[in-house]
Amino acid sequence: MFKVNENYQKLPGSYLFSTIGKKVSAYSAANPDKKIIRLGIGDVTQPIAPAIIDAMHGAVDEMGCAETFRGYAPDLGYEFLRSAIVKNDYQARGCDISADEIFVSDGAKSDSGNIQEIFAQNNKIAVCDPVYPVYVDSNVMAGRTGTYDAKTEMWSDVIYMPCTMENDFVPEFPKETPDIIYLCLPNNPTGTTITKAQLQSWVDYANKIGAVIIYDAAYEAYISEENVAHSIYECEGAKTCAIELKSFSKNAGFTGVRLGYTVVPKELKCGEVSLNAMWARRHGTKFNGAPYIVQRAGEAVYSEAGKAQLKEQVAYYMNNAKTIKEGLKEAGYTVFGGVNAPYIWLKTPGQMTSWEFFDYLLENANVVGTPGSGFGPSGEGYFRLTAFGSYENTVAALERIKKL
């Protein structure tokens, strides 16, 4: 008789955003006259930039002609895309990363869920708290997190690094020594980040204790301050301790196009074993490449026209961030983030829990946000709003919130 992976049964509740989706659907069904504004899930709203649309049309045409048709892509991504990535995202910033260290994928969510597979089960993971749920949940599914305590909402074998207003949202080196450290910077959900000097201290720490940093740089395009690193490889020594995950979802609006990449430096080793070779083997065995059309779209992100158009798109969302932040301040809220990231993290008013505030905002302002506690216990009492709505909706949402 077959047996199922029992770790799945340990997962409490459903995936955060599925729960929110269901709550909002139920409210909508009961109140069909209300116009709901969604500033919850980190999904973009602006259309794909013209330079990228052109590139996709061109690639679709190629797929329709025998002479230019493309079948299976190279396992690790087309050379044209990997070279564009290396040139623009790394060499231009002085990071010595080469094309055979880039692995093109169908998105950073897949990569952040799958990357744990190449590690042994008895590694101890450390995560910031609050944190993007995929890091923890994918480790739960792999049986790496011990037992769940429903009261503290914590796993016995996970090291939590609280990031709250008390420590300016800067994670501190944990007391217990971790093997794998997940860092998402600029941070989802808090919208805050750390300086390059602070990141360097994390790289030094990881090298000292022999840990791997899984560095999620999905929000890198939103960095506006000078002293913040765009890639962990800007830090000395990162190539022996860090894997970097990148997404095209936020800088180019690819949430529905699906493209990402992961950097695994060849210098990153466990004894004689190359993690680059392991990830290549994982890709070669369980993945068949991102669509050709989508890889051409990714290439267009790095064209001159593409870059100019996307700079405008990022500025558009960051103007929303400013609108939210200033509006909330005016309304008397305590707010964080929104400077180097498209997320605003607010302290819930009047001792409300995160889910109480979720219901309050949904019912009274018809605005959907994300409860901070959904990202981990230290998120309790906080709430996330995203800058990815349209400008008009963002302004309207803030008008409603100010009136509460």
Residues numbered 87 to 116 that lie near a second copy (CB under 8 A) are 106-107, 109-110, 113-114
Which position has the token pair 């060849």?
266
Q: Which residue from 16, 21, 39, 43 is spatially nearest to 218, judged by alpha carbons?
A: 43
Q: Of the ranges 68-76, 160-168, 184-192, 226-234, which one interacts with a second copy (CB under 8 A)?
A: 68-76
72 is a contact residue toward a second copy (CB under 8 A) = yes
Kindly state the number of chain residues that form the binding site for a second copy, as judged by CB under 8 A.
Answer: 82
Contacts to a second copy from residues 302-331, by CB under 8 A: none
Site map 205..224 versus a second copy, x via CB under 8 A = ----xxxx------------
Contact between 117 and 282 (Cβ < 8 Å): yes
Q: Cis ω on the peptide bond leading into residue 189 (within 30° of 0)?
A: yes
Q: Which of 36, 53, 352, 396 binds a second copy (CB under 8 A)?
A: 53
Contacts to a second copy from residues 227-266, by CB under 8 A: 253, 255-258
Contact between 386 and 45 (Cβ < 8 Å): no
Q: Which of 36, 41, 352, 395 binds a second copy (CB under 8 A)?
A: 41
- Distance separating alpha carbons of residues 53 and 153, to the nearest angstrom: 44
- Min CB(252)–a second copy separation in Å: 11
Choose between 128 and 140: whose C-beta lies nearer to a second copy. 140
- Distance separating alpha carbons of residues 400 and 325, to the nearest angstrom: 14
SS3 of 254, please?
Answer: helix
What would you report as the CA-atom Rg of the chain, rounded to the nearest whole angstrom?
A: 21
- Min CB(249)–a second copy separation in Å: 8
Contacts to a second copy from residues 333-362, by CB under 8 A: none
Contacts to a second copy from residues 132-191, by CB under 8 A: 133-134, 137-138, 141, 179-180
Q: Cis ω on the peptide bond leading into residue 186 (within 30° of 0)?
A: yes
Q: Which of 63, 170, 352, 396 binds a second copy (CB under 8 A)?
A: 63
Instruction: Tell me how far apart the terminal alpha carbons of the chain are, to the nearest angstrom.
Output: 58
SS3 of 106, please?
Answer: coil
29 is a contact residue toward a second copy (CB under 8 A) = no
Q: Of the ranges 53-61, 230-238, 338-346, 393-401, which one interacts with a second copy (CB under 8 A)?
A: 53-61
SS3 of 176, please?
Answer: coil
